[in-house]
Amino acid sequence: MKKICLGIIGVGNMGRGHIENIVSGKCPEVEVTAVADIDSAKFEWAKGKLPNVTTFDTAEEMMDSGLVDSILIAVPHYFHPQYAIEGFKRGINVMCEKPAGVYTKQVREMNEAAAKSDVVFGMMFNQRTNCIYRKMREIIKSGEMGEIRRTNWIITNWYRSQAYYNSGEWRATWSGEGGGVLLNQCPHNLDLWQWICGMPTMVQTHMKFGKWHDIEVEDDVTTYVEYPNGATGVFITSTADAPGTNRFEVTLDGGKLVAEDDKLYIWKLETSEPEFSKTNTLPFSGPKSEKAEVETDGNNEQHVGVLNAFSAAILRGEPLIASGEEGINGLTLSNAMHLSAFLGGKEIALPFDEELYYEELMKRVATSRHKENVTAIVADTSGTYNA
């Protein structure tokens, strides 16, 4: 069987998770031929799982070795675009972990470089493989329930204690991660929100920085959005709610959909609300509805599904789960939320001022607790960094 030769950049939690999936035989068209990490102590673990793997101290050395035709980027957020661009320059296929980057100006440069290359570029949006969200999107995009009127996602089951934040100096810092719950826990939710419902035209956010934890970034977010058709939406997230909630509700002309507790429910109106409102003559009457649980195919392949689609795209031209260029959409939402909060809760029209966001972010990076990355990030205004 023909396989892609994959090099993994970063042998941390995510990098190790991908290696475990591959060596267990879940990705039959993927062979890990090399790994790169700035911490050579991690190579012992990698060689224990992959006795024949070649290790490199830098990603560039690995990409220049001739041992890989594809890379998987699993390093801190700021470096995702840098390594992707280096891969494009060398004609190497790229799979990038979420988020696409920290700020859209940086990710736009990555997408422009991708467009000039002739390689496969994918984003690790594994939640797009979830049958619940796939079915939700299918129903909405079909138009069978009319236009979206309102979206609400309460996603507060990302609980993290102070011990989690204390486990790494880079965690929850402006220079280490570039944000808090929006950049670390919620990129999948933000991607799904726009993938299923489309992009809004306006964002307004109330955000608290270190409200519940001793951290410098956000751990409590409430956002209001408006869509091109006049629909509205709310996105609420936190790392301090216990127990938390994960409820995604979309109201449409013809009823509503609710994803909660790994199930998808549908309420279908006998008569769409716009039609009912026009024809009804009874002052306190409302359209009748029927509730049902939506049947799905039950498939939820997660990271394995994304990697298998990546190898199939390289070997046979089959579709990706998510193209790398799509990573900018969810990041646009989180950047706009941050910018709104930075400016005191101001309404932010999309597309937003990317230069202003970058300037505001760099102000916070300059005073970040995580001093290791501060000098390099602030000094390099071009948007690319050296690991």
Query: In the prediction, which pLDDT does 381 show?
Result: 40
Residue whose C-alpha is closest to residue 15's, from 101, 114, 124: 124
Which of helix, strand or coil describes residue 319?
Answer: coil
Q: How many domains does the chain have?
A: 2
One domain, residues 61 and 168: no
**78 and 163 co-located in one domain:** no
pTM exceeds cut of 0.85? yes
Per-residue pLDDT of the chain (387 residues; tens, 9 = 90+): 899 999 999 999 999 999 999 999 999 999 999 999 999 999 999 999 999 999 999 999 999 999 999 999 999 999 999 999 999 999 999 999 999 999 999 999 999 999 999 999 999 999 999 999 999 999 999 999 999 999 999 999 999 999 999 998 989 999 999 999 999 999 999 999 999 999 999 999 999 999 999 999 999 999 999 999 999 999 999 999 999 999 999 999 999 999 999 999 999 999 999 999 999 999 999 999 999 999 999 999 999 999 999 999 999 999 999 999 999 999 999 999 999 999 999 999 999 999 999 999 999 999 999 887 775 565 454 433 333
Rounded to whole angstroms, the Cα distance separating 161 from 285 reads: 48
Assign residue 113 the CATH number of its domain: 3.40.50.720
Distance CA 180, CA 77 (A): 12
Rounded Cα gap, residues 136 and 133, in angstroms: 5
Give the other-Cβ count within 10 Å of 272's Cβ: 18
Residues 239 and 379 in one domain: yes
User: What token pair was written down for 311?
Assistant: 């190898």
Q: Are residues 308 and 193 in the same domain?
A: no
Buried (b) or exposed (e) across 245-257, using 16+ Cβ within 10 A? ebebbbbbbbbbb
Distance (Å, whole) CA 356 – CA 361 = 9
Cis ω before 228 (30° cut-off from 0): no
Whole-angstrom Cα Rg for the chain: 22
Distance, in Å, from the CA atom of 189 to the CA atom of 183, rounded to the nearest integer, reads: 11
- Judged by phi (left if over 0) then psi (alpha if -120 to 50, else beta), residue 178 lies in left
117 and 21 co-located in one domain: yes
Give the CATH number for residue 236.
3.30.360.10
DSSP, collapsed to helix, strand or coil, labels residue 298 as: coil
What pLDDT, on a 0 to 100 scale, did the predictor assign at position 377? Answer: 66
pLDDT attached to residue 371: 83
Q: How many CA atoms does the CB half-sphere of 118 hold within 13 Å?
A: 0
Q: Are residues 379 and 239 in the same domain?
A: yes
Q: Are residues 317 and 292 in the same domain?
A: no
Contact indicator for 227, 333 with CB cutoff of 8 Å: no
Smallest Cα–Cα separation from 129: which of 188, 194, 199, 70? 188
Please list the helix, strand and coil fractions of the chain in percent, rounded to the nearest 5, in that order.
40, 20, 40
Question: Domain check: are 377 and 348 in the same one?
Answer: yes
Same domain, 130 and 75: no
Domain residues for 288?
A: 125-299+324-387
CA-to-CA dists, residue 85 to 107, 175, 353, angstroms = 10, 21, 23
Query: Are 80 and 195 members of one domain?
Result: no
Q: How far is 72 from 168, CA to CA, in rounded Å?
A: 23
* Residue 274 and residue 359 in one domain: yes
For 355, the token pair is 């230069």
DSSP letters of 25-81? Answer: TS-TTEEEEEEE-S-GGGHHHHHHH-TT-EEESSHHHHHHTTS-SEEEE-S-GGGHH
194 lies in the same domain as 209: yes
Q: Give the integer Cα–Cα distance in Å for 88 and 108.
A: 14
